[in-house]
């Protein structure tokens, strides 16, 4: 069907044509964009015309760092964030007790989103705290960062973690200093646990996915890059099934984990779906530093990056701290030295603490940075109190990176924070937190740059700029209609940006969400 959106303020983000009033959509693609009068002739008998009443249209938002499964799961698990009135360990215990009464003994209780900073006790809960709530149900709590979990004694026994268990190579089992007993707190062991804890049942999962789809569409997100390190052939099949069932409307780019990549090299799997619905992306490696040692080691990291690079793929390197970002740079550098390749678009994900010399190095190597500007909004006030100098001076230096010529992309790392791109755009422009504090004001960027982080730059990071990222004839009709123009908000009313609402979302020319509908 033909569709015309007219009487709109269209920000194309196309370098040739800046603005328009009308966009004509045919067969899921943008057919034409321009002035109201000039496109009048393109209206056909069956064309549906929508009057946008002066609202703003942008290319659909792309969230380039997303965890769909974890998001769906989070929507059907216990929410332990402060905004859900959780301010102490006894609040957590109360919620756990309540839910344990409704579930048969032995069924898993999952909670997420707690942060020791927001708890009165200023510490993580322990297995013993959780045991007080229930000893008959295994409990798994996920820290707000996703990087730590707390299990009760019942759960520890089920996953086989005891005093005798050694730390796995990538993780850390927190222990009581006197007895050596695990406290229940586990660091960087998410993948390890995922292999041992049963997934949600089918109905729960489907319920979570439907809600996830609703949320994504309501925020104007038309593509996600799913960068979960457990993505593999099996996950691909699952995503494909959901896509076919129409459960998830936004397009998905699937970045493989290291193990999934090895599967892929053996049996490259393809998708019978429209090629833009589900596509393989790069290969993710988590680089981290626990108690001063790099994991994987520099040598192993170089080897893996080289392998990804030689296979013609994109390395997606999770690196948060200065040392790990530097290690990622070294690995890319050594791969490029051996096999020069222009336009590799290897990515560093997060890049949270990045001093200027490192930013310059990233620029020189042509590395793309996938940042999470909404962290500034949701976590910024906590960073101001807990991150020490000198790291604090280099926290999410988006302005510096952009000025040094780095391609910087926006994302949410959802479910770590809600996937609302307008919050990320607002934070990149204002550097403001939810408590109205400002984190490194010198790192502000201009509104149009912020919009590009979630559109053109994100499309480029997925090698999709020919199909997405701007409103250009021939590109996919993935669009978002906003209640106001983020580039036209006066500087002294900057807070208005975060109040801008999504009126309508289109994927492939199909209206997938409409406010009030």
* Binding-site ranges for Zn ion (CB under 5 A): 413
> Smaller CB distance to Zn ion: residue 125 or 282?
282
> Smaller CB distance to Zn ion: residue 358 or 417?
417
Decide: 477 and 1 in contact? Cβ < 8 Å.
no
> Smaller CB distance to Zn ion: residue 21 or 413?
413
Task: Return the number of other C-beta atoms located less than 10 Å from residue 225's C-beta.
Answer: 27
Decide: 359 and 397 in contact? Cβ < 8 Å.
yes
> Smaller CB distance to Zn ion: residue 66 or 377?
66
| DSSP assignment string, 372-387 | -HHHHHHHHHHHHHHS
Minimal distance, residue 295 CB to Zn ion, in Å: 17
Minimal distance, residue 443 CB to Zn ion, in Å: 22
**Residue 155 backbone dihedrals phi, psi, to 5 degrees:** -70, -40
Minimal distance, residue 454 CB to Zn ion, in Å: 16
Three-state DSSP class for residue 502 = strand
Minimal distance, residue 389 CB to Zn ion, in Å: 26
Beta bridge partners of 290: 293
Closest CB to Zn ion: residue number: 413
**Residue 452 backbone dihedrals phi, psi, to 5 degrees:** -65, -30
Helix runs in 188-320, H state only:
190-194, 202-218, 233-245, 258-266, 298-310
> Smaller CB distance to Zn ion: residue 326 or 413?
413
Minimal distance, residue 349 CB to Zn ion, in Å: 7
Task: Return the number of other C-beta atoms located less than 10 Å from residue 107's C-beta.
Answer: 14
Measured distance CA(294)–CA(483) in Å, rounded = 46
Estimate the crossing angle of helix 68-75 against helix 202-218, to 10 degrees: 100
Q: Which helix (H) or strand (E) segment is 130 a member of?
A: helix 127-133
Decide: 416 and 144 in contact? Cβ < 8 Å.
yes
Minimal distance, residue 104 CB to Zn ion, in Å: 33
Task: Return the number of other C-beta atoms located less than 10 Å from residue 465's C-beta.
Answer: 16
Residue 149 half-sphere exposure, CB side, CA atoms within 13 Å?
24
> Smaller CB distance to Zn ion: residue 25 or 227?
227
Q: What share of the chain is helix, strand, coil (3-state, %, to 5)?
A: 35, 25, 40
Minimal distance, residue 67 CB to Zn ion, in Å: 6
> Smaller CB distance to Zn ion: residue 349 or 478?
349
> Smaller CB distance to Zn ion: residue 322 or 413?
413
Decide: 308 and 281 in contact? Cβ < 8 Å.
no
Minimal distance, residue 348 CB to Zn ion, in Å: 13
> Smaller CB distance to Zn ion: residue 321 or 437?
321
Measured distance CA(191)–CA(229) in Å, rounded = 8
Minimal distance, residue 65 CB to Zn ion, in Å: 5
Minimal distance, residue 146 CB to Zn ion, in Å: 7
Give, in degrees to the nearest 5, the angle at Cα 421 between 19 and 252. 95
Measured distance CA(338)–CA(351) in Å, rounded = 25
> Smaller CB distance to Zn ion: residue 63 or 503?
63
């Amino acid at each position: 069907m033909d569709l015309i959106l007219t009487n709109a303020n269209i920000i194309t983000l196309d370098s040739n044509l800046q603005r328009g009033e009308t966009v004509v959509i045919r067969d899921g693609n943008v057919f034409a964009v321009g002035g109201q009068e000039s496109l009048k002739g393109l209206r056909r008998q069956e064309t549906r015309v929508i009057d946008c009443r002066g609202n703003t249209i942008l290319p659909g938002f792309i969230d380039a760092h997303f965890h769909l499964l974890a998001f769906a799961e989070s929507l059907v698990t216990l929410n332990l964030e402060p905004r859900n009135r959780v301010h102490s360990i006894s609040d957590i215990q109360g919620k756990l007790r309540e839910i344990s009464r409704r579930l048969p003994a032995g069924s898993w209780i999952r909670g997420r989103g707690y942060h020791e900073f927001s708890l009165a006790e200023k510490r993580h809960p322990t297995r013993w705290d959780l045991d007080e709530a229930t000893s008959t149900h295994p409990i798994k709590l996920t820290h707000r960062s996703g990087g730590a979990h707390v299990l009760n004694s019942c759960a520890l026994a089920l996953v086989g973690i005891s005093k005798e268990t050694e730390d796995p190579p990538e993780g850390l089992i927190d222990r009581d200093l006197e007895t050596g007993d695990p406290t229940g707190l586990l660091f960087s062991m998410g993948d390890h646990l995922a292999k041992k804890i049963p997934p949600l049942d089918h109905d729960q999962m489907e319920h979570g996915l439907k809600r996830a789809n609703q949320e994504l569409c309501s925020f104007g997100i038309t593509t996600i890059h799913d960068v979960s390190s457990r993505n593999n052939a099996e996950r691909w099949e699952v995503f494909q099934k959901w896509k076919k069932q129409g459960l998830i409307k936004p397009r998905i780019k699937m970045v493989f984990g290291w193990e999934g990549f090895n599967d892929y090299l053996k049996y490259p799997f393809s998708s019978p779906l429209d090629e833009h619905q589900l596509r393989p992306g790069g290969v993710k490696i988590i680089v981290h530093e626990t108690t001063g040692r790099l994991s994987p080691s520099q040598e192993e990291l170089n080897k893996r990056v080289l392998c990804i690079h030689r296979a013609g793929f994109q390395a997606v390197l999770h690196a948060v701290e200065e040392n790990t970002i530097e290690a990622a740079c070294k690995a890319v550098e050594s791969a490029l030295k051996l096999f020069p390749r222009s336009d590799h678009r290897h990515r560093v994900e997060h890049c949270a603490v990045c001093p200027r010399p490192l930013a310059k190095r990233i620029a020189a190597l042509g590395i793309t940075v996938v940042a999470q500007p909404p962290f500034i909004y949701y976590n910024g006030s906590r960073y101001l109190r807990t991150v020490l100098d000198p790291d604090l001076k280099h926290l999410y230096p988006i302005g510096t990176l952009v000025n040094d010529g780095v391609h910087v992309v926006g994302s949410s790392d959802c479910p770590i924070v809600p996937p609302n791109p307008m919050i990320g755009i607002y934070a990149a422009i204002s550097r403001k937190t939810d408590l109205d504090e400002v984190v490194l004001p010198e790192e502000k960027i201009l509104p149009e740059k912020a919009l590009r982080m979630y559109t053109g730059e994100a499309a480029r990071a997925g090698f999709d700029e020919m199909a997405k990222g701007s409103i250009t004839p021939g590109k996919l009709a993935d669009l978002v209609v906003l209640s106001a123009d983020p580039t036209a908000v006066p500087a002294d009313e900057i807070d208005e940006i975060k109040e801008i609402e999504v009126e309508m979302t289109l994927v492939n020319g199909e209206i997938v969400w409409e406010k009030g509908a």
